[in-house]
Structure 1
Amino acid sequence: ASGGGDHSVAPGEHDEYYGFLSGGHTGEIRVVGLPSMRELMRIPVFQAESARGFGHDAKTTELLEEEGDGHVWGDTHHPRVSQTDNDYDGRWLFVNDKANGRMARVDLEYFETDAITNVPNCQGVHGACMQLPDTQLVFGVGEFRVPMPNDGRDVDSPDEYGSVLTAIDPETMDVEWQVEVDGNMDNGDGGKEGRWFFATGYNSEEGVTESEMARSDRDYVKAFDIPAIWEAVENGEYEEISGVPVVDGTMDSSLNEGDRPIVRYVATPKSPHGVSVTPDGNYAIASGKLDPTCTVIDVEAIAEVDDPQEAIVGQPRVGMGPLHTAYDDRGHAYTTLFIDSQVVKWDYEAAVEAEARSEGPIIEKHDVHYNPGHLIASESYTASPQGDYLVSLNKLSKDRFLPVGPIHPENDQMFYIGDDDAGMQLIKDKPSYPEPHDASIVHKDKIEPAKTWDTDDYELDFVPEGEESFERVDENTVEIEMWARRNEYAFPEVTVREGDEVTLRISNVETTSDVIHSIAIPEYDINLALAPQDTREVTFTADEPGVFWAYCAYFCSALHLEMRSRILVEPQD
């Protein structure tokens, strides 16, 4: 795309990028195309969702109830796409649940959640980030301070509370270790070379009320030395809590003495919010939130200086309420200003050369509507951002759209940033259902979604035409294996008895892309969504006698209404 050009996408044409937006307290991920900003799909993550049958079949029900610890909702904030050699590889997306202390993984071949980890010793997994360059670990940044374990002990002893950074194996989704730190943590980002992970922090006072949390003028960015933490774990220098090695990374820890501390505390103006590493890996930039500056930390210097604060090499004054920073491919940083309702563009190398609190590095400010939180530029989290599009995720929309009652949509505003002479160009507003927080933008060539399911990619046996079966296993157990295709199910009618435990397995035998079926059973809260070549299974008790017309909830053909199976539940008497 070019500055001043047409950034629309014609009907039938494809977008250049995938945008993965968190859904906040909907518990989902939204997929949009850029630059059109058209919503393409929603991926249920921490909540049951009937359109895709998530939480209706046995596999995803187990995922939510057992791996997900049975919670019925989540609060997704920070979607991160896996990387290889500091570039998106299109394999997975990871996202946190702030509400219930969980981390999830989405398979980007099928755009489906395939794993959820319940993180122990942690309440409020806020940041979701990874160790780079190759997604060696996924990090959950713990925000809320709680007793460890949080089992009723020390409930009124805030001195015993702690917050932890959690390291998760991306392949197994098992928790490898945790590091306890002083204060609360907020957001995080990984260095490009694999050694460092950065997390902002607030409440160094370790208070429990707002006034107690904001007394000090200084808080900290925590720089975690990942190899040093692994060494401590391998040497047994940890306490096992809830079955997980918890390493003491607090300021007074013996592991933070000497010339190789596991966590370095970099003092910054109070309550820094977002932190992100520049594409070249040279700097970690923390946004001030309660201070009108961004703090530029020299990544290489952290290991060399005696006082971590000496690694601060720049602190430009950018505006009121700086929250998050993204990057283009030309050395520019873009920071949201929540109070000013603006995005500010600035030169981070110029900030290193300038005096502290100078406005000299600022290139441009652009109004947004209104009160931006996160922002994301195309491939900004990689070592090679594209530098063309930027989306500001604004918390308030106020008067930008038709009124829809007292709860308003959010406003996601897209800019073209590829022409430095023309400046930032606002080209689109998009209303968003509450509440996106962060996003990742990935070029379409780096993701290869499946057109149909590969039957080798799931454990259930596929049921082809001609191999359907109905078997009464014992007095009260029935197993049904059947298929679905356009206009019909394998069995136009099945009869079971009241009280039977019925296991229904069904395969979509279509091989054509986008011919989707489902089987919805009225009054039983069942809707299994079936993409081509997919197989799903559900077990239910036939506890309501009567006639139940199972039907396809997807409109699949002209005879859609006739695609039914009559389920007869005979009464016991």
Structure 2
Amino acid sequence: MTDTTHTETDDAQGRDEEMLLPQLGLDRRDFMKAGAAAGTLGAMAGCTGLLDRDDGTGAGGASGNADAHVPPGELDEYYAFLSGGHSGDIRVLGLPSMREIMRIPVFNHESARGYGYDDESSEMLEEAGGYTWGDTHHPRVSQTDNDYDGRWAFVNDKANGRMARINLKYFETDAIVDIPNQQGTHGACCVLPDTKYVIGVGEFRVPLENDGRSLDAPDEYGSVFAAINPETMNVEWEVLVDGNMDNGDGGKEGKWFFTTGYNSEGGVTESEMTQSDRDMVKAFNIPAIEAAVEAGDYEEINEVPVVDGRQDSPLNSGSDPVVKYIPTPKSPHGVSVTPDNNYAIASGKLDPTATVIDIAALDEVDDPEEAVVGRPRLGMGPLHTAYDGRGHAYTTLFIDSQVVKWDIEAAVEADLGSEDPVVEKIDVHYNPGHLIASESYTADPAGDWLISLNKLSKDRFLPVGPMHPENDQLIYIGDDEGGMELVKDKPSYAEPHDASIVHRDKIEPAKTYDPEDLDLEHTAAGEESVERVADDRVEVKMYSMRNEFGFPDITVQEGDTVEMQVTNIETTSDILHSLVIPEHDVNIKMAPQETTKVTFEADEPGVYWMYCGFFCSALHLEMRSQLLVEPEG
């Protein structure tokens, strides 16, 4: 079924072949200028079209069949893990309500959880580079046999070259690795079917021995693809490649992993990076890379084995190269593997098409370009693609401010550049980047809901000054005959990127902590202690429960280092306590059966109230203790 209804902007843009195809003579700067203007008009036309249209077909159509209402007291069907962007955290939403349930701090400090303030999390952040901020982009949930297993979520720090792991039993970050030899970890995904590695896709080309000796030698720069052990969060090996990498996704069988790339020229300025009319998708042969590492065919750089995967590498000259370079139109952006593992699809960004790569053919062809079996023409600015499990792909069109639904096999059968595979388009508001369908990254997507993460909201919400929220929009995609239906808007703080949607049955969060899962010793009532372990160090172990701490007061000396370890001995879920000592910048959280430790300096004599920061009972205000700091001498 092909789309029979188009927006006026869609028609106007579709007539201008030169605008749509930068390789036909329009340079990148002019293309982006033209695209920005067209995108602005397209966004506004999209809003008008949605309000005017009620026939349930075509762009912005709505069949009215979606039921996204979740009554008070009832639970959502899905968890959605959305990046928090510059906030450095992960947002957890319920779907289809789009209610925000929780925020999980990752690369940021967060006082309600005491994250970055207690000893464990502050040490983890310090050992992972000591940065004060991060930029989360691509949350990915671990899988077993190509289905979500509820163990972990992983997310990259685009800004600082890090990868973090989130424990989904407790919905908290438990490990962060600062990836050596990599600046700008843009892509993040897993090697499937069983999460053998978590992959950090490095974007920026830098000298791998970045010690100042290669400041004026760009030909010595490189970007690396990093394989991280999900159990230990150690970087096992890296692969050096030509050009800059962008996004990535893994095949479902564990052999191939794909990344998009730009700057195949190896330039450092815009003019140098945009001379060629095409770039490369890189297909990483995981078994071949592992064999190279096993054989010692690598250089150890900053204590990590680095395999040479550049095009002229000897490791790419044989019948089983470590990396295959697949030509695509200029600067492809997103890449994702279809649920059946038949194809990897790269979005054009500066080209109106998507490139469909036959994964099986990669093992058969001598020239990787021969594995390209489809290139449907989708619209202006295709960025990312998701799947419904019924043979359809959904791609965001950044400049057109639309999501396009298209038939994958029809794209393989059609001529390159054909619009025939397009089924339907829907207007979104405005300029979408990533999108995600329910369980799209698995081998068996649910295919009922899709979230479009839009970069601009403009007039969709109450004005809040020059910095506007962004707009996450929920779209119902479960009715192929009725068409896509825009259901909800949700404002989001700048700047989220990607998401994963997981059915609630596949995640089993704990309601209280299991003391066996914690490194710190549990302190029960009657086991509390205050011990001076050195001339200038005091260690405190105590409990907290409704209305009281383990000690009514604690006395130390001016200049003491105080290590305070507190166990919440509540067994009832949802009864949080915290220990707050404002004058010493202490604010740590203890959920039921959790033990938390904080270390600080008692550097000023005086009386300092310690209190619980969570309203836990009618006598909450009376839940307090005193830290008494005696003057030195």
Q: TM-score, normalized by length of structure 2?
A: 0.89
Match of 1:156?
216
Once the two structures are TM-superposed, the CA of residue 538 in structure 1 deviates from its matched residue by: 1.1
After superposing on structure 2, the runs of 4+ consecutive aligned residues of structure 1 that deviate more than 3 Å are none
Helix, strand or coil: the match of 2:120? helix
Structure 2 residue 210 is the aligned partner of structure 1 residue 146:
no
Structure 2 residue 488 is the aligned partner of structure 1 residue 428:
yes
Q: Which has the higher helix share?
A: 2
Match of 1:226?
286
Once the two structures are TM-superposed, the CA of residue 539 in structure 1 deviates from its matched residue by: 1.2
Gaps of 5+ in 1: none
Match of 1:401?
461
Match of 2:120?
59
Helix, strand or coil: the match of 1:162? strand
Q: Distance in 1 between matches of 2:402 and 2:161?
A: 32
Once the two structures are TM-superposed, the CA of residue 149 in structure 1 deviates from its matched residue by: 2.1
Deviation digits for residues 78-135 of structure 1, max 9, x if unmatched? 0100000000000000111111111110000000101111100010011111110000
Query: Conserved in 1, the CA contact under 8 Å of 2:239 and 2:307?
Result: yes
Match of 2:571?
511
- Alignment equivalent of 2:252, drawn from 185, 189, 192: 192
Once the two structures are TM-superposed, the CA of residue 3 in structure 1 deviates from its matched residue by: 6.5
Once the two structures are TM-superposed, the CA of residue 211 in structure 1 deviates from its matched residue by: 2.1
Structure 2 residue 325 is the aligned partner of structure 1 residue 265:
yes
Q: Distance in 1 between matches of 2:163 and 2:378?
A: 33
Structure 2 residue 158 is the aligned partner of structure 1 residue 131:
no
Q: Distance in 1 between matches of 2:152 and 2:178?
A: 18
- Alignment equivalent of 2:305, drawn from 245, 249, 270: 245
Q: Residue 19 of structure 1 aligns to which amino acid in structure 2?
A: A
- Alignment equivalent of 1:494, drawn from 554, 565, 571: 554
Helix, strand or coil: the match of 1:456? helix
Match of 1:485?
545
Once the two structures are TM-superposed, the CA of residue 568 in structure 1 deviates from its matched residue by: 1.2
Structure 2 residue 96 is the aligned partner of structure 1 residue 35:
yes
Q: Distance in 1 between matches of 2:380 and 2:422?
A: 14
Query: Conserved in 2, the CA contact under 8 Å of 1:374 and 1:438?
Result: yes
Structure 2 residue 589 is the aligned partner of structure 1 residue 536:
no
Match of 1:168?
228
Q: Distance in 2 between matches of 1:78 and 1:161?
A: 25
Q: Distance in 1 between matches of 2:122 and 2:336?
A: 36
- Alignment equivalent of 1:15, drawn from 51, 72, 76: 76
1:292-331 counterparts in 2 under 5 A? 292-331=352-391
Once the two structures are TM-superposed, the CA of residue 153 in structure 1 deviates from its matched residue by: 2.2
Deviation digits for residues 38-88 of structure 1, max 9, x if unmatched? 00111111111111111111111111011x111111111001000000000
Q: Distance in 1 between matches of 2:524 and 2:64?
A: 53
Q: Residue 25 of structure 1 aligns to which amino acid in structure 2?
A: H
Q: Distance in 1 between matches of 2:98 and 2:270?
A: 38
1:357-396 counterparts in 2 under 5 A? 357-396=417-456
1:407-486 counterparts in 2 under 5 A? 407-486=467-546
Deviation digits for residues 278-330 of structure 1, max 9, x if unmatched? 00000000000000000000000011001100000000000000000000021
Helix, strand or coil: the match of 1:330? coil
Q: Distance in 1 between matches of 2:396 and 2:66?
A: 25
Q: Residue 336 of structure 1 aligns to which amino acid in structure 2?
A: T
Q: Distance in 1 between matches of 2:514 and 2:495?
A: 34
Query: Conserved in 1, the CA contact under 8 Å of 2:66 and 2:476?
Result: no
Q: Distance in 1 between matches of 2:335 and 2:119?
A: 40
Helix, strand or coil: the match of 1:523? helix
Helix, strand or coil: the match of 2:206? coil
Structure 2 residue 582 is the aligned partner of structure 1 residue 559:
no
Deviation digits for residues 12-50 of structure 1, max 9, x if unmatched? 100000000011111111100000000011111111111
Once the two structures are TM-superposed, the CA of residue 5 in structure 1 deviates from its matched residue by: 4.0
Q: Residue 111 of structure 2 aligns to which amino acid in structure 1?
A: S
Q: Distance in 2 between matches of 1:102 and 1:535?
A: 27
Match of 2:109?
48
Match of 1:90?
150
Q: Distance in 2 between matches of 1:206 and 1:437?
A: 26
Match of 1:207?
267
Once the two structures are TM-superposed, the CA of residue 415 in structure 1 deviates from its matched residue by: 0.4
Q: Residue 387 of structure 1 aligns to which amino acid in structure 2?
A: G
Structure 2 residue 209 is the aligned partner of structure 1 residue 182:
no
Q: Distance in 1 between matches of 2:274 and 2:89?
A: 32
Query: Conserved in 2, the CA contact under 8 Å of 1:82 and 1:93?
Result: yes
Structure 2 residue 167 is the aligned partner of structure 1 residue 107:
yes
Identity of aligned residues (%): 73
Helix, strand or coil: the match of 1:418? coil
Q: Residue 153 of structure 2 aligns to which amino acid in structure 1?
A: L
Q: TM-score, normalized by length of structure 1?
A: 0.99
Change beyond 3 A, Cα 1:267–1:5: closer
Match of 2:53?
none
Helix, strand or coil: the match of 2:349? coil
Q: Distance in 2 between matches of 1:219 and 1:53?
A: 45
Change beyond 3 A, Cα 1:349–1:3: farther
Structure 2 residue 585 is the aligned partner of structure 1 residue 525:
yes
Q: Residue 17 of structure 1 aligns to which amino acid in structure 2?
A: Y
Match of 2:140?
80
Gaps of 5+ in 2: 1-62
Structure 2 residue 335 is the aligned partner of structure 1 residue 275:
yes
